[in-house]
């Protein structure tokens, strides 16, 4: 991404941000190493959460005790992906809206989103529909191909738990250009009004999700827990970060240089502390705190804050490399763990359950790492990267 040439001060400010200082290559495209490291941490957390819950098996007690809750809580990493997508995809639209970038070419946007998500998704869903169907879901293959399984009223887990979140992501990709266009017309380029409208929309989305958590009725579960309407507020937390980023690009605020409120390590530590609280509390508490956790963690990596030692961990190149291939890692790890444990997860009427007896967690984790690592590399190099090289340059 090239800095906009609007005078020395603006260029210097853009070049001082973390994503301009540290880049990593993904199929020929330069990306923020810190953002890719966040993807890696989210994917690894989900991996540990699934390895523990699937190893535990169908017996009671998987959520008993702080240790168990923290391990299962690794699955919360999926929600960090939503905040990242909200920030990264809305930012170019917002910059175009306020006149700091050319208008987004919707043809290139659609092309990039299709190449990013569809090839590997089709391979994984088709393969698993053939070799590992269960619960009669082989006949649901066409629903997964159309990204509508989450609205079918049946279990959204397939033989691969993470698939439900990919459908939510795809729906966000579809509605974002329209949402950005509406925001541009309603707010007329005002960042304050943009933030206000997003906060209002986020409040409505939160109410939908909270309704599903509290009532557990089929309609609440369908539209509150596993669909874009009930999860939009997490994407909006990232979109609000984009508003803050554009505002700080215009004029660096005084608070960004203060020892505590402007320290990136403090932001990251506070966000991680939120995730710990979320993992050890009730589901309704999770619903309330999730957007703040994602806002703080992603903000630590993408906002021009004071540098801190904790955030510099995100500059570690091996971690960023894992993030580059995190999509393959994310989609393949659950089927492999299921094969090792003989278990699988189901969600019926909003209730999460494990089917099968399970096995030793430490053994499963070790074997899964040994198997998932080469599978991820082969998947990224053989499936993802050839298609990603067809993308158009993206800001």
Q: What's the rounded Cα separation, in Å, for the pair 288 and 290?
A: 6
Question: CB within 8 A of 302, min separation 6: which ones?
Answer: 17, 18, 19, 32, 34, 35, 87, 241, 245
Query: In degrees rounded to 5, what are phi and psi of residue 170?
Result: -60, -35
Closest to 281 in 3D by CA, of 48, 56, 66: 66
Q: Which residue has the higher pLDDT, 127 or 159?
A: 127
Determine the length of the chain: 395
What does the pLDDT look like over 148-195, one tens digit per residue? 887 776 666 666 778 889 999 999 999 999 999 999 999 988 999 999
Over 50: is that where the pLDDT of 16 sits?
Answer: no
Label residue 217 by pLDDT band (50, 70, 90): low
What does the pLDDT look like over 70-106, one tens digit per residue? 999 999 999 999 999 999 999 999 999 887 778 889 9
Query: Would you tell me how many other CB atoms lie within 10 Å of the CB of residue 103?
Result: 10
Over 70: is that where the pLDDT of 18 sits?
Answer: no
User: CA dihedral defined by 380, 54, 166, 288, rounded to 10 degrees?
Assistant: -130
Query: Is residue 275 within 8 Å of 76, Cβ to Cβ?
Result: yes
Over 50: is that where the pLDDT of 14 sits?
Answer: no
- Listing DSSP states for 295-340 in one string gives HHHHHHHHS--B--TTGGGGG-HHHHHHHHTHHHHHHHHHHHHHHH
Task: Give pLDDT, residue 6.
Answer: 38
Query: Is residue 91 within 8 Å of 350, Cβ to Cβ?
Result: no
What does the pLDDT look like over 242-274, one tens digit per residue? 999 999 988 888 888 888 888 999 999 999 999
* HEC-encoded secondary structure of 277-299: HHHHCCHHHHHHHHHHHHHHHHH
Task: Give pLDDT, residue 1.
Answer: 38
Q: What's the rounded Cα separation, in Å, for the pair 167 and 146?
A: 9
């Amino acid at each position: 991404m090239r800095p906009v040439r609007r005078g020395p001060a603006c260029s210097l400010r853009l070049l001082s941000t973390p994503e301009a200082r540290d880049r990593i290559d993904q199929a020929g495209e330069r990306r923020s190493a810190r953002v890719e490291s966040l993807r890696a941490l989210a994917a690894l957390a989900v991996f540990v959460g699934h390895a523990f819950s699937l190893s535990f098996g169908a017996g009671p007690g998987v959520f008993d005790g702080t240790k168990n809750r923290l391990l299962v809580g690794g699955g919360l990493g999926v929600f960090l992906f939503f905040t990242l997508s909200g920030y990264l995809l809305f930012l170019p639209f917002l910059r175009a809206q306020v006149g700091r970038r050319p208008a987004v070419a919707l043809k290139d946007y659609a092309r990039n989103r299709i190449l990013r998500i569809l090839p590997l998704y089709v391979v994984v869903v088709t393969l698993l529909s053939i070799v590992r169907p269960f619960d009669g879901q082989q006949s649901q293959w066409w629903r997964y191909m159309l990204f509508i399984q989450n609205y079918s009223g049946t279990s959204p887990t397939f033989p691969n738990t993470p698939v439900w979140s990919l459908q939510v992501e795809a729906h966000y990709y579809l509605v974002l250009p329209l949402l950005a266009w509406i925001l541009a017309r309603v707010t007329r380029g005002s960042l304050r009004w943009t933030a206000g409208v997003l906060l209002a929309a986020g409040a409505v989305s939160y109410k939908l999700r909270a309704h599903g958590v509290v009532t557990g009725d089929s309609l609440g579960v369908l539209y509150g827990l596993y669909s874009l309407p009930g999860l939009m507020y997490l994407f909006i937390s990232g979109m609000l970060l984009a508003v803050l980023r554009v505002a700080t690009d215009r004029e660096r605020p005084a608070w960004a240089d203060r020892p505590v409120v402007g320290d990136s390590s403090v932001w990251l530590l506070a966000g991680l502390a939120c995730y710990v609280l979320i993992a050890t509390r009730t589901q309704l508490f999770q619903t309330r705190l999730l957007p703040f956790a994602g806002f703080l963690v992603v903000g630590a990596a993408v906002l021009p804050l004071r540098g801190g030692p904790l955030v510099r961990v995100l500059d570690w190149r091996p971690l960023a490399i894992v993030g580059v291939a995190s999509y393959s890692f994310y989609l393949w790890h659950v089927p492999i763990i299921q094969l090792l444990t003989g278990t699988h997860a189901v969600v019926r009427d909003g209730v999460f359950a494990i089917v099968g007896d399970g096995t030793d967690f430490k053994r499963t984790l070790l074997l899964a790492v040994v198997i998932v690592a080469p599978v991820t590399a082969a998947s990224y190099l053989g499936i993802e990267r050839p298609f990603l090289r067809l993308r158009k340059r993206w800001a």
